[in-house]
């Protein structure tokens, strides 16, 4: 996939963009922790990526559900 496909229409970085980093704080510890796992994904074997991304997705969904109250 080309880098152009991974960019939003306004040119903002989107998750998954090889040039972006989620290491900046979001102000939410649960979200920051989930994103730090994504930052370290490249160091993991490819066969673990789906499992790790599923876990991050669940963690972010749980945090969103908590925020919605």
- Cα separation, 47 vs 53, in Å, equals 11
- pLDDT tens across 14-23, in order? 444 444 554 6
Domain residue extents for the chain: 25-69
This prediction has a pTM of: 0.62
Q: How high does pLDDT run on average in the chain?
A: 76
Asked if pLDDT for residue 53 goes beyond 60, the answer is yes
Cβ(23)–Cβ(40) below 8 Å: no
- pLDDT tens across 1-12, in order? 333 323 333 434
pLDDT at 10: 40
pLDDT at 23: 65
The label of the residue with tokens 């969103």 reads: 64
């Amino acid at each position: 996939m080309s880098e152009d496909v991974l960019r939003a229409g306004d040119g903002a970085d989107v998750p998954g963009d090889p040039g972006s980093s989620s290491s900046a704080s979001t102000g939410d510890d649960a979200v920051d922790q989930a994103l730090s796992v994504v930052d370290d994904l490249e160091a993991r074997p490819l066969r673990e990526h789906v499992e790790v991304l599923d876990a991050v997705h669940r963690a972010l969904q749980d945090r969103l559900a908590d925020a919605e109250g």
